[in-house]
């Protein structure tokens, strides 16, 4: 009896174990199938879908498998960071301060670092991609993330007040492109090119706090600092713009430097069904357009009209047709306050055929950044005519020579105190622009006058040199014979 009961219990236990094992394996198999299906769905997602799922700051290796993760590098970087931060602090300060002076807006007499430290938190490299796009070069794309704890205080000396400004909660998200120009001589690298890729767009986020005071002491100061930072990033570092660092003596870096490729002719024809921003009457619209933020041109203002017609033509220099776009911003001029933006449009240049005039109708949006376009209100449309003319070698050489003359002219005017750090072309004619404290939209142009200033600056250099200063507040316009008093 005991033997039989033991055998029965053994069979029952065996059956129970087998049933349990089968159940576990079946559940595991179902999970594997579900996981495989999820992976297949994720693999079919595009870049925009991944942005929605992961947010704006998703690592590049998610959508681009060729980005290799480098956990070992981050581990070593965290150990090296205290020494790197100490060594880089002086270098960054010496390099950035001249740019702050060049790009400082009118109304700011001085903009320098009173304290600068990169902090103790090291950056994180999400991935690295190696490419061989051109012979004789190695191209490295670095997915760079930094949510550090730097200690940065700007000493701002404005006309109306002087106060220290602290930059807090600094975060940076970008893909850094490093190009190594190979050489047959030791160290086998003749030059290094550094740039920030335009796609994905570099993100630099921070908050500003006045130390021992209030930001309202200098109206519009926060917007001015934001505009200065954005101008430096887009005009100096964002691809196709780059920094070229030679690593030897008598190294020819001319092939690595950015050169003007052609000229874009843009005729702003009209706008239709603009959104009214006025409580009484209608908006007074004008269009500001640019390829590079360092130089912006604007149409005349048409008063009290939501369907304005300008029919004005502008010429903009293009340095990389495949990656650059023309940005068009429609504003409502306000006589006493900051101008209000009615909408913005973006036209990529890579689809334009040379020497062919193309009529384009663009829908005005809240922002050129797709992630910020949650406001789906109808803002009207903008009608354009565009034509791209590629430069010949002779035209390119003339453009580079004109750039040198423009830089010297700008230095002379700045040393004389006639201009701050920005220039603008209004209605197709060159004029010098002072932003005017409190009129943030007047911040146009940049410090370094490159080929995109050639055509307007020819008028500036060879005309009678009598131009109006524009403060952004029409009540305070003064003549070019006086210093800009903002």
pLDDT score of 474 more than 60: no
Looking at residue 62, what is its pLDDT? 53
First to last CA, the chain: 109
Q: In this predicted model, what pLDDT tens digit does every residue of 122-136 receive, in sequence order? A: 999 988 988 777 788
pLDDT recorded at residue 217: 62
Please calculate the CA angle 131-143-165 and round it to the nearest 5 degrees.
140
pLDDT at residue 472 greater than cutoff 60: no
Distances (CA, A) of 215 to 105, 218, 220, 222, 352: 16, 6, 8, 7, 45
Can you give the pLDDT at residue 442?
29
pLDDT at 48: 64
Check residue 184 and give its pLDDT.
83
pLDDT > 90 in the chain, percent: 16
Q: What contacts 199, CB < 8 A, 6 or more positions away?
A: 323
pLDDT score for 23: 83
The pLDDT of residue 404 is above 60:
yes
Lowest-pLDDT range of 147-151, 249-253, 254-258, 482-486: 482-486
Please give the mean pLDDT across all residues of the chain. Answer: 75
243 neighbors 194 (Cβ within 8 angstroms): yes
Per-residue pLDDT reduced to its tens digit, 54-106: 665 555 555 555 678 888 999 999 999 999 888 888 888 888 888 787 777 76
Tokens 């902090």, residue located: 119
If pLDDT is split at 50, 70 and 90, which confidence band does 430 have? very low
**262-393 topology per CATH:** Immunoglobulin-like (2.60.40)
Task: Give ∠ CA 297-300-305 in degrees, rounded to 5.
Answer: 130
- Residue 462: pLDDT band (50, 70, 90) is very low
pLDDT at 469: 29
Give pLDDT tens digits for 157-169: 876 677 788 888 8
pLDDT of 196 above 70: yes
Whether 266 shows a pLDDT value over 90: the answer reads: yes
- Give 354 or 206, the one with higher predicted confidence: 354
Separation CA 26–CA 19 (nearest Å)? 10
Mean pLDDT of the region 172-200: 85
Confidence of residue 285 (pLDDT cuts 50, 70, 90): very high
pLDDT for the residue numbered 265 = 94
pLDDT tens-digit profile of 164-184?
888 888 888 888 989 888 888
* pTM attached to this predicted model: 0.61
Contact between residue 336 and residue 475 where contact means Cβ atoms under 8 Å apart: yes
* 433: number of Cβ within 10 Å: 28
C-alpha separations of 91 from 3, 85, 119 in Å:
88, 10, 15
List, for residues 346-394, the tens digit of each pLDDT value: 999 988 999 999 999 999 988 877 666 666 788 899 999 999 999 998 8
- What pLDDT is attached to residue 230? 76
Measured CA distances, 373 to 59, 101, 345 (Å): 22, 34, 12
| 331 φψ region: left (φ > 0), alpha (ψ -120 to 50), beta (else) | beta
Measured distance CA(64)–CA(132) in Å, rounded: 16
Q: Looking at residue 189, what is its pLDDT?
A: 87
Domain map (residue ranges) of the chain: 71-246, 262-393, 401-476
**Torsion from C-alpha of 391, 392, 398, 400, nearest 10 degrees:** 60
- Residue labelled with tokens 């105190």: 417
Q: What is the pLDDT of residues 440-453, one digit of tens each?
A: 332 233 233 333 33
Mean pLDDT of 385-413: 82
CA distances to 89, 217, 404, 452 from 315, in Å = 41, 39, 19, 9
Give the pLDDT band of residue 112 (cuts 50, 70, 90).
confident
In the numeric block, which tokens belong to residue 9?
């219990």
Please give the average per-residue pLDDT across 249-262, as a whole number.
80
| Better-scored residue on pLDDT, 139 or 107 | 139
Mean pLDDT of 195-220: 77
310 — pLDDT class (breaks 50, 70, 90) = very high
pLDDT band at 405; cut points 50, 70, 90: confident
Omega into 200 within 30° of 0, i.e. cis? yes
Q: In this predicted structure, what is the pLDDT of residue 57?
A: 58
The mean pLDDT of 457-481, rounded to a whole number, is 30
């Amino acid at each position: 009896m005991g033997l039989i009961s033991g055998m029965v219990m053994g069979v029952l236990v065996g059956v129970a174990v087998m049933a349990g094992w089968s159940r576990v394996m079946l559940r595991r198999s179902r999970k594997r199938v579900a996981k495989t299906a999820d992976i297949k769905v994720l693999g079919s997602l595009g870049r925009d879908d991944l942005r929605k799922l992961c947010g704006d700051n998703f690592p590049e290796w998610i959508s681009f498998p060729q980005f290799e993760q480098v956990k070992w590098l981050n581990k070593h970087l965290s150990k090296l960071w205290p020494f790197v931060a100490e060594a880089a602090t002086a270098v960054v300060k010496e390099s950035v301060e001249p740019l702050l002076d060049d790009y400082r807006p009118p109304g700011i007499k001085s903009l320098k670092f009173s304290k600068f430290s990169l902090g103790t938190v090291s950056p994180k490299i999400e991935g690295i991609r190696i490419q061989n796009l051109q012979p004789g070069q190695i191209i490295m794309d670095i997915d760079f993330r930094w949510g550090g704890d730097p200690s940065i205080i700007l000493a701002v000396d404005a006309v109306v007040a002087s106060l220290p400004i602290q930059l807090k909660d600094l975060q940076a998200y970008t893909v850094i492109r490093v190009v190594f120009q190979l050489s047959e001589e030791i160290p086998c690298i003749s030059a290094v090119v550094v740039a920030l890729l335009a796609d994905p767009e570099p993100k630099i986020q921070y908050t500003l706090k006045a130390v021992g005071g209030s930001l309202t002491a200098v109206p519009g100061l926060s917007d001015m600092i934001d505009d200065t930072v954005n101008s430096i990033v887009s005009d100096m570092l964002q691809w196709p713009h780059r920094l070229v660092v030679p690593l030897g003596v008598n190294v020819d870096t001319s092939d690595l430097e950015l050169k003007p490729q052609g000229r874009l002719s843009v005729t702003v024809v009209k706008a239709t069904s603009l959104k009214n921003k006025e409580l009484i009457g209608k908006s007074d619209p004008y269009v500001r357009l640019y390829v590079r933020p360092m130089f912006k041109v604007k149409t005349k203002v048409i008063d009290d009209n939501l369907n304005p017609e300008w029919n004005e033509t502008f010429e903009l220099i293009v340095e990389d047709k495949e990656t650059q776009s023309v940005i068009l911003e429609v504003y409502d001029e306000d006589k006493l306050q900051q101008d209000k933006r009615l909408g913005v449009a973006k036209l990529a240049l890579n689809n334009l055929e040379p020497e062919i005039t193309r009529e384009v109708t663009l829908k005005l949006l809240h922002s050129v950044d797709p992630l910020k376009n949650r406001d789906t209100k109808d803002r009207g449309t903008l009608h354009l005519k565009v034509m791209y003319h590629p430069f010949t070698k002779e035209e390119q050489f003339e453009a580079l020579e004109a750039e040198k003359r423009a830089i010297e002219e700008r230095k002379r005017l700045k040393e004389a105190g006639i201009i701050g750090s920005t220039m603008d072309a209004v209605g197709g004619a060159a004029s010098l622009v002072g932003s005017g404290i409190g009129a943030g939209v007047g911040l146009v142009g940049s410090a370094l006058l490159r080929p995109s200033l050639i055509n307007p600056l020819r008028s500036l250099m060879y005309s009678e040199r009598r131009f109006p200063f524009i403060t952004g507040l029409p009540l305070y316009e003064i003549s070019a014979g006086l210093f800009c008093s903002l």
